[in-house]
Amino acid sequence: MSQNATYATLSIAERIAPNPYPGRGIILGKTPNGRHAAFAYFIMGRSDNSRNRIFTKEEDGTVRTEPYDVSRVKDPSLIIYAPVRAYENHVVVTNGDQTDTVVEGLKKGLSFSESLKSREFEPDAPNLTPRISGIFHFADGDFTYEMSILKSADPEGTACNRFTYDYAPLSGLGHFIHTYMGDGNPLPTFTGEPERVFMNDDIDAFTKEIWENLDEDNKISLIVRYYDLASGKYDERLINKYTK
């Protein structure tokens, strides 16, 4: 691979629009002006059970998925969880209940990757959906971030491969990891390193770019949050396709 290909960076619209089903996706990065650590997390769904969800927020900043219509819930095990939680100077973003695993690991003095050693891909054969996770570490007016993917080593799910990526933030650059390379039966698992994307200083413009480029039928919810590195405060946007 050429150096140019290695460092190829696209807009998030260019990453998302050609893919009818990226599934669940996490974006972490730093805004071009260098003032904010930014993340985005979106969920999509093909089945009625997966689509029957909304994001809700708690007072401490924790974000949870909840049923839009409780009467339609068939199996809550893989669709109801807290994708966003904070602990001390860390913010954890994941696509499943491994958010809690990472936070509990941090409380015990474990690292991000050490905490995830106890987890593997989701037990939803034949898809064997990978678990994707990200974390911000804030310190001294700046931050670093890591991303992880836990995915099956083979189509049968006989073993789990674990990959962790540790990033020094660069202004204007983000990394995007998602569960699937596209639609299909079974769904094709994400491959390669997290994809490089351009960030945006404007939270509203970035939110709009993500939401409007996700497949209309399959998109469910999106949260975007910008942390001011000077004050530690954050601004956020939360969109649900279905509202109560």
pLDDT of 1 higher than 60: no
Q: Is the peptide bond before 186 cis (omega within 30 degrees of 0)?
A: yes
pLDDT the model gives residue 244: 67
Q: CA angle 124-127-130, nearest 5°? A: 85
> Burial code of 73-101, b = ≥16 C-beta within 10 A, e = fewer?
beeeeebebbbbbeeeebbbbbbbbbbeb
134: its two tokens = 């990200």
**Cβ neighbours of residue 77 closer than 8 Å, sequence gap 6 or more:** none
What is the number of other CB atoms lying within 10 angstroms of the CB of residue 103?
A: 20
Taking the C-alpha atoms of residue 76 and residue 113, their distance in angstroms, rounded to an integer, is: 26
**Per-residue pLDDT tens digits for 21-46:** 999 999 999 999 999 999 999 999 99
Mean pLDDT score of the chain, rounded to an integer?
95
pLDDT the model gives residue 217: 94
Q: How confident is the model at residue 72 (pLDDT cuts 50, 70, 90)?
A: confident
pLDDT of 2 higher than 80: no
164: its two tokens = 């962790």
pLDDT the model gives residue 3: 58
pLDDT the model gives residue 112: 98
- Please classify residue 49 by burial: count the beta carbons closer than 10 Å to its beta carbon, then call 0-12 exposed, 13-18 middle and 19+ buried: middle
pLDDT of 150 higher than 60: yes
Taking the C-alpha atoms of residue 126 and residue 14, their distance in angstroms, rounded to an integer, is: 29
pLDDT of 127 higher than 60: yes
**Per-residue pLDDT tens digits for 198-209:** 999 999 999 999
Q: What is the mean pLDDT of residues 75-101?
A: 94
Q: For the full predicted model, state whether its pTM sits above 0.85.
A: yes
68-72, 187-191, 217-221: least confidently modelled range: 68-72
**Per-residue pLDDT tens digits for 205-222:** 999 999 999 999 999 999
Q: What is the mean pLDDT of residues 161-186?
A: 97
- Dihedral pair phi/psi, residue 18, rounded to 5°: -75, -10
Determine which helix (DSSP H) or strand (DSSP E) holds 5, and give its type and residue range.
Answer: helix 3-6
**Count of helix runs (H) and strand runs (E) in the chain:** 6, 13
